[in-house]
Structure 1
Amino acid sequence: MSGGLSVGIDIGGTKVAGGVVDPDGLVVARARRDTPHRSTSPSVVEDTIVDVVAELIDEAGDDVVAVGIGAAGFVAADRATVVFAPHLSWRDEPLEANLQRRVPVPISVDNDANAAAWAEWRFGAAQGHSHVVMVNLGTGIGGAMILDGQIMRGRYGIAGEFGHMQVVPGGQRCECGNKGCWEQYASGNALVREARSMMTAGSPMASDLLDLVGGDPSSLTGPMITEAARDGDATATELLGEIGQWLGIGIANLAAAFDPGVFVIGGGVSAAGDLLLEPARATFRRHLTGRGYRPEARIVAAALGNEAGLIGAADLARRDALERAAAEGA
């Protein structure tokens, strides 16, 4: 696919990351800003996006043909409106129209997990697969499905919100308003919550983690836990293993529903690699419906890391721009 450079923007619960992406999926320039967490003003997040886009277009110049936005929320089927964003303040937000008034090239909006899955299918771990399910473990859990080269968005554009499947009735309260959602047990937030809980309870099992943050549990982050596990910390390893077990349970349910050939695990928590994925694979095999009598989907780590979302958003925007240009020239 050709057509010049495009800008991809990945909007998460804590950051706006952007990049200039070439037609081969290579990021040739980058910019990043923190997201005002739980901001009550949608315009604050919008201003942050525009700031990142302006920086990247200034750097790349006239070669930029489109901007793609990967939004962490429910994006309507028109790919113009963010219906609901659990970790941000968007409610029926006309994001495409608002940004298009301030950005000089065509805008395309999609769910951030859709964008990441597209990138992995085009350039990463899902290349060559016809049936793909992606699970993104970050602040929450995002998900996406690709069937024969098409993103399966659902009737209303909200397919793939796997993180809000209820796996524990009456369980942990989720930011979406329900209780017991999968992302409350298998996400980065869940990992940090469980570790901090052990620390504040004074568990001797968490003493090394408490020393790591100078006695301040609130400063502990997911990457710190992953690094501690890599260094051999038993409690950090156990915590990642528990997240992996919950991941495996959810994936087994998704296999029963969609029967993909491959699950691609992305997002920040996936940086833990086999510390996360081996417990997930083992639990998946134990819970898979018809285990022993059916083919098993592969469970693989995403290849493009945290940049999958912006790469996919940029590539989808480039494709949309080319299709519009072709239609106008027909």
Structure 2
Amino acid sequence: MLTVGVDVGGTSVRAGVVDGDGAVLDTARAATPSGEEALEEAIGAAVAELAARHDVAAVGLAVAGFVASDRMTVRFAPHLAWRQAPVAERISKRVGMPVVLEHDANAAALAEYRFGAARGAKIAALVAIGTGIGGALLIDGQVFRGAYGVAPELGHLRLVPDGRPCPCGKNGCWERYCSGTALSTTAVELLARHPGMSTVLAREALGDSRAVTGRRVAGAARDGDPLAQRAMADLARWLGEGLALVADVYDPEVVVIGGGVSESAPLFLDDAREHYAAVVTGAGHRPLARIRTAQLGDDAGIVGVAALARDVAGHTARNGRPR
């Protein structure tokens, strides 16, 4: 049975046809629109494009936001337009197939548990670093959702009182200092203080500071740009700080680092591990979690939510109704 997984992020909508072994067979992609109707139209179009080429049975949406425990409603999404929206029902009407929702980090964690870096772990956490930060916790392979389906919202832990403003309404959230967006913000702030440190990024920022994206900063860091490397070191420090909090609360066996920013892990992950090991409570006197990069990379959310959609489609086929 083939299913479609759709990763609905703050920057892009990425859809993929996934088989039962977790392999992505075909993909479609679009920029994330700002309005509800436009967003749902973009998702429907991506699914229709793939369904025209493959016989697919169900759709899963991995959403960067709070998903209700019934996995049918998006309660709140800081980077998306949905607010208390019956998204699964709306999309199902558009595509003519069963649709299930899941928090994007939960979907990625399930994929890594079934097919990747968290296989066999009794307690596993996932930190998905992209436009923001998503978090997930698995206990014996089961997603921990909290009482109302919104746990664990790691990206909005407040690390810096009165720090950078966050779209969630708070200030100083972890993702404002450790994400693709944060990497861009840090680089622009450094350019304002040290304009001569990076001729490449300074030239790009003159036209429009939005040109200094996190991806561009990572590329400049790989090329040896000193300002970009300093911004990357700042991200590594904040990643280590946040991982120490995660370890203090959950004491996981393994933490998987996923999301788009994880593609640049060689630039920051070793420093983040060192900082985590230094600042975690009981440093030097406790076992440390293994910090691993996601084996499925940026496709983890798509693979995980497609697997959930396959479970729903199978249950519907057997029982005549969605689970």
* TM-score where L is the length of structure 1: 0.93
**RMSD over aligned Cα atoms:** 1.6
| 2:94 partner SS | coil
1:127 to 104, 108, 119: 119
Task: Name which of 43, 46, 56 aligns with 1:49.
Answer: 43
The alignment covers a number of residue pairs equal to 321
Equivalent pair of 1:195/1:206 in contact (CA under 8 Å): no
How far off its partner does 1:327 sit? Answer: 4.2
- Give the structure 2 partner of residue 259 of structure 1: 251
Query: What residue in structure 2 maps to residue 26 of structure 1?
Result: 23
Query: 2:76 corresponds to which residue?
Result: 84
Q: 2:129 aligns with which of 137, 146, 149?
A: 137
Q: Percent identity?
A: 47
Q: Distance in 2 between matches of 1:57 and 1:141?
A: 30
1:170 matched residue in structure 2:
162
The answer (yes or no) to whether the contact 2:131–2:179 under 8 Å persists in 1 is yes
Report the Cα offset of residue 276 of structure 1.
1.4
Matched, 1:59 2:53: yes
The residue type paired with residue 136 of structure 1 is: A
**1:195 pairs with 2:195:** no
Distance in 2 separating the partners of 1:149 and 1:267: 20
Question: Following TM superposition, by how much is the alpha carbon of 1:217 offset from its aligned partner in structure 2, in angstroms?
Answer: 2.9
Q: Partners of 2:315 and 2:105 in 1: how far apart?
A: 22
What SS does the corresponding residue of 1:23 show, helix, strand or coil? coil
Which amino acid is 2:59 matched to? V
Is there any run of 5+ residues in structure 2 with no aligned partner, and where?
A: none
Moved more, 211-220 or 97-106: 211-220
Q: Distance between the aligned counterparts of 1:95 and 1:298, measured in 2?
A: 36
Could you tell me whether the CA contact under 8 Å between 1:163 and 1:182 is conserved in 2?
A: yes
Q: Residue type matched to 2:66 in 1?
A: F
**Deviation for aligned residue 1:279:** 1.5
Deviation, 1:201, is 4.6
The Cα offsets for residues 12-35 of structure 1, whole Å up to 9 and x where unpaired, read as 001100000000000111100111
State which drifts further: 203-212 or 51-60: 203-212
Once the two structures are superposed, residues 94-128 of structure 1 have per-residue CA deviations (whole angstroms, 9 ceiling, x without a partner) of 10111111222211111111111111111111122
- How far apart, CA to CA, are the structure 1 residues paired with 2:62 and 2:210? 29
**8 Å CA contact retained: 2:8, 2:62:** yes
Q: Give the superposition deviation at 1:213.
A: 6.3
Task: Letter of the 2:48 partner, please give it.
Answer: A
TM-score between both structures, scaled by the size of structure 2:
0.95
Aligned to 1:75: 67
Shift of 1:206: 2.7
Any gaps of 5 or more consecutive residues in structure 1? none
Q: Secondary structure at the match of 1:60?
A: coil
Deviations 1:206-250 (A, max 9, x none): 323224667543212212211211122222112111101101111
